[in-house]
Amino acid sequence: MGRIASLFNKVKAENRSAFIAYICAGDPDPDTSYRLAEELIQSGVDILELGVPFSDPLADGLTNQLAAQRALDAGVGPDAVFGLVEKLRENYDTPIVFYTYYNLVFSQGVQAYVERAKGVGVDGILVLDLPPEEAEEMEAVNKALGMDSILIIAPTTRDDRIQSIVSHASGFIYYVSREGVTGERDAMASGMAEAIGRIRAHTDLPVAVGFGISKPEHVKAVGAIADGVIVGSSLVRCIEENAEQPDEAVSALGERARWLISGLESRG
């Protein structure tokens, strides 16, 4: 059993949802990025989702786009991203997921990319712009190497499409709670419980919810019905606001993560 499956079994036994944190690898620079990732793990994050810096992150809102640009401006490329995971694995066993775009995989060769990711300790890959119908090679390589294929379902996804998507997925399903790009929201999307129920009718995989979660009350509400709560922009903004002051960035990120995690409750 891989790290992701083991983690979801663990939190299920604890009768709670998993907290999944997103930051962009290499933001604002490689050394600070390692400290930030370490701070998240030490703050109690269950799964670490690392965005791989890309010049055209079309699924991301402005906060995450700027994070990718800061990383690219700092010279962060594939070697630095893989090196970050490798360094984290020296001390931590927390599941790690890559959040990436297909050009970054394809340009290195699917087999070579997944082999390298697996070799440094990545547990799952979410390719934002690769639909299941075009992912035969990626899926086959992931399956052969024991890499989880994380796939996305949106509020507009039809039931027949849900069935198709979950048949290609492993690890967990990423449910995007609202249409559009990533970003913080003041209010949660409606119809979430119904949507999660529709997904669970087609799969036993855990369902994690992301997009727009920015407060402990959001975490509490989502955690009561989903298997995982995904927070990104709210955390990335802490880095943006302190990008020139690494110590402050680390401190602010840890404080924000613990504040958000405080929303998680046992389901009783």
Q: Residue type at 104?
A: L
Predicted confidence (pLDDT) at residue 187 exceeds the cutoff of 60: no
Q: Minimal CA–CA distance to 37: which of 143, 122, 104, 110?
A: 122
**Model pLDDT for residues 46-61, shown as the tens digit of each residue:** 999 999 999 988 878 8
Q: How many CA atoms lie within 13 A of 116 on its CB side?
A: 16
CB 33 within 8 A of CB 84: yes
CB 14 within 8 A of CB 266: yes
CB 200 within 8 A of CB 173: no
Q: Minimal CA–CA distance to 99: which of 18, 8, 23, 206?
A: 23
pLDDT at 103: 96
Please give the average per-residue pLDDT across 34-44, as a whole number: 98
Catalytic (active site) residue 49: yes
Predicted confidence (pLDDT) at residue 189 exceeds the cutoff of 70: no
**Model pLDDT for residues 71-122, shown as the tens digit of each residue:** 999 999 999 999 999 999 999 999 999 999 999 999 999 999 999 999 999 9
Distance CA 212, CA 224 (A): 16
Specify the pTM.
Answer: 0.94
Q: Active site residue: 39, 60, 148, 227, which one?
A: 60
pLDDT at 212: 82
Compute the radius of gyration of the chain from its Cα atoms.
17
Predicted confidence (pLDDT) at residue 204 exceeds the cutoff of 50: yes
DSSP-derived letter for residue 188 is P
Catalytic (active site) residue 27: no
Structure tokens at 237: 């903004």
pLDDT at 191: 83
**Model pLDDT for residues 116-167, shown as the tens digit of each residue:** 999 999 999 999 999 999 999 999 999 999 999 999 999 999 999 999 999 9
Q: Active site residue: 49, 123, 139, 184, which one?
A: 49
List of domains in the chain: 3-147+214-261 (3.20.20.70)
* Exposure string over 178-196, b if 16+ CB within 10 A, otherwise e: beebbbbbeebbeebeebb
Edge-to-edge strand list for the sheet holding 228-231? 148-149, 124-127, 96-100, 47-51, 18-24, 228-231, 207-210, 173-176, 151-153
**Model pLDDT for residues 223-264, shown as the tens digit of each residue:** 999 999 999 999 999 999 999 999 999 999 999 999 999 999
